[in-house]
């Protein structure tokens, strides 16, 4: 036997490849955890109960007393608007209103939504008028934003009351009822909602249905309508309860509630026609007299729906266009919708194809080169200056002045209610570098000629990445794989209060 191993003693175990990989992975994770824990700073608070005390203030003031930057900030910013005092000189110099790719045909005048939230209707009509102005050789022209505004608000009233009928079994303080009742007839909207209006009601020149006091100043009308609609909602809920307690058949209950709803919507109609005027009927013929750019008089006769179908739906029909969004919270190459968001009951739903930001940029460039202006949705209030007409993430020196770091990502802003789609405008140009990459975009706004650079704004590419959420693209100009996603029936339904349900 000597030194020979016994046959009954097993040889040393040899680790398999999978076991080795698992150990390496576990070691890596432990090292990462250890590094993460080492970065945690465990300190003792001045207040163990969480109250704010004067000891906190004293400590902070001691620090500030020795900070020359803090002292300078206090000297300047206590009597200055921080947006003016901290505007970056280098950013304003860099953000020139110069673009090497623009939509060639120039429209006018610069539109003005005034004291209303109708930006989405102005952006839509600003896109549609390109083809109309070229067709009729017009120098100045506007479609009636007030016409679409009227039909949208009337339909929103009906949509809200239908939802109140549908959800009548929920408690009145249920989160859904509260959400829907918060702003049932607000001015804002989304692309698919405007398509519903165009397909059902068409469009008319502004001269056929001009602005009124309450289309340009919408809050008094909105407040009255909200008051009435909330009252209407309770009337319908009470009626629903009474009918069910009387054991009335469901079909009869629904018919009775809808008949009552029609009486209530009539009140809305009477208020709106008194304040906005009676709009042209979508199928009734009108006569439009106009003067073209050469000073020649012209005339067109037809209905609002005919006018839209013949001139507003070309070269790319709004019904054949869809929304691309960039929402980093959610999976890309998926189709999303928002529950109970709409204006026309039974109409086209609000749909979004979520995609990477680079796909949205490339789509914008393709559309501009094809001579097509781009409807887009963004958060216009972030890092923007309406007087200078600049949207730039480097526009304000907040971090330098206050010695802070603004570190939220785009996804985090959406998650924590820091940002959402608040405004719709039109991209009409883009400036590309030698490699074909975008540097800045030319934006047509609807705040009048005194805002920005003669009504236009410049948007940097970095701002686009952070605060643009949506671009609308015709199927013919969209990436085929994203068209396939849009045409699929697999939709992810977001809750009614999701940030993607914000109305521009």
Cβ neighbours of residue 493 under 8 Å, at least 6 residues apart?
A: 336, 337, 338, 339
| Dihedral sign of CA atoms 43, 49, 50, 53 in order | negative
Cβ neighbours of residue 278 under 8 Å, at least 6 residues apart?
A: none
Pairing between β-strand 390-391 and β-strand 456-460 as defined by DSSP bridges: parallel
Using alpha carbons, list the distances in angstroms from residue 468 to 315, 364, 459, 460: 25, 12, 10, 11
Pairing between β-strand 468-474 and β-strand 321-325 as defined by DSSP bridges: antiparallel
445 is catalytic: yes
For the record, the structure tokens of 153 come out as 């608000």
Number of Cβ within a 10 Å radius of residue 31? 10
The active-site residue, picked from 112, 119, 158, 222, is: 119
Number of Cβ within a 10 Å radius of residue 47? 10
Pairing between β-strand 423-432 and β-strand 384-385 as defined by DSSP bridges: unpaired
Owner of token pair 């001139």:
311
Cα distance between residue 374 and residue 336, in whole Å? 21
Angle between helices 250-276 and 145-166 (to 10 degrees): 150
200 is catalytic: no
Contact present, 94 and 127 (Cβ < 8 Å): no
- Residue 440: is it exposed, middle or buried by C-beta count within 10 angstroms (0-12/13-18/19+)? buried
Cα distance between residue 198 and residue 187, in whole Å? 16
The active-site residue, picked from 214, 232, 423, 431, is: 423
31 is catalytic: no
The single-letter DSSP state of residue 289 is E
Contact present, 471 and 374 (Cβ < 8 Å): yes
Cα distance between residue 300 and residue 136, in whole Å? 10
Backbone phi and psi for residue 291, each to the nearest 5 degrees, phi listed first: -120, 125
Residues with catalytic annotation?
119, 423, 445
């Amino acid at each position: 036997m000597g030194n020979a191993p016994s046959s009954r003693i097993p040889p040393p175990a040899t680790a398999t490849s999978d076991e080795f990989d698992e150990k390496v992975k576990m070691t890596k994770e432990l090292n990462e955890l250890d590094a993460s824990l080492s970065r945690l700073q465990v300190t003792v608070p001045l207040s163990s109960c969480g109250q704010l005390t004067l000891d906190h203030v004293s400590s902070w003031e001691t620090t500030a007393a020795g900070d020359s930057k803090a002292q300078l900030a206090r000297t300047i910013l206590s009597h200055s608007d921080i947006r003016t005092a901290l505007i970056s000189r280098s950013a304003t110099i860099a953000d020139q209103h110069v673009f090497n790719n623009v939509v060639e045909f120039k429209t006018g005048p610069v539109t003005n939504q005034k004291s209303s939230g109708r930006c989405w209707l102005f952006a839509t009509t600003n896109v549609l008028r390109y083809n109309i102005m070229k067709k009729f050789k017009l120098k100045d022209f506007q479609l009636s934003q007030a016409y679409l505004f009227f039909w949208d608000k009337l339909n929103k009233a009906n949509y809200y009351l239908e939802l109140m009928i549908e959800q009548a079994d929920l408690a009145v303080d249920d989160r859904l009822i509260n959400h829907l009742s918060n702003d049932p007839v607000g001015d804002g909207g989304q692309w698919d909602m405007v398509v519903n209006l165009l397909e059902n009601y068409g469009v008319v020149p502004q001269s056929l249905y001009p602005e009124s006091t309450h289309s340009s100043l919408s809050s008094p009308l909105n407040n009255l309508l909200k008051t009435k609609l909330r009252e209407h909602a309770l009337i319908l809920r009470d009626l629903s309860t009474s009918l069910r307690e009387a054991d009335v058949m469901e079909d009869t209950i629904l018919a009775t509630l809808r008949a009552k709803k029609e009486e209530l919507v009539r009140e809305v109609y009477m208020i709106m026609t008194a304040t906005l005027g009676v709009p042209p009927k979508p199928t009734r013929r009108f006569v439009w007299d106009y003067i073209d750019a050469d000073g020649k008089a012209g005339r067109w006769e037809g209905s609002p729906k005919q006018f839209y179908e013949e001139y507003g739906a070309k070269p790319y029909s709004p019904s054949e266009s869809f929304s691309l969004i960039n929402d980093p919270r959610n999976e890309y190459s998926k189709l999303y919708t928002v529950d109970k968001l709409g204006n026309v009951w039974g109409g086209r739903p609000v749909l979004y194809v979520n995609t990477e930001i680079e796909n949205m940029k490339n789509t914008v460039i393709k559309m501009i080169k094809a001579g097509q202006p781009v409807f887009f949705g963004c958060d216009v209030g972030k890092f923007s200056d309406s007087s200078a007409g600049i949207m730039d993430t480097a526009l304000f020196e907040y971090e330098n002045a206050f010695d802070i770091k603004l570190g939220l990502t785009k996804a985090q802003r959406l998650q924590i209610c820091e940002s959402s789609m608040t405004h719709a405008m039109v991209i009409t140009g883009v400036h590309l570098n030698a490699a074909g990459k975008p540097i800045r975009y030319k934006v047509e706004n609807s705040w009048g000629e005194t805002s920005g650079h003669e009504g236009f704004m410049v948007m940097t590419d970095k701002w686009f990445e952070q605060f643009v959420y949506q671009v609308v693209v015709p199927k013919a100009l969209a990436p085929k794989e994203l068209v396939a996603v849009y045409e699929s029936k697999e939709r992810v339904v977001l809750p009614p209060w999701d940030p993607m349900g914000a109305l521009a």
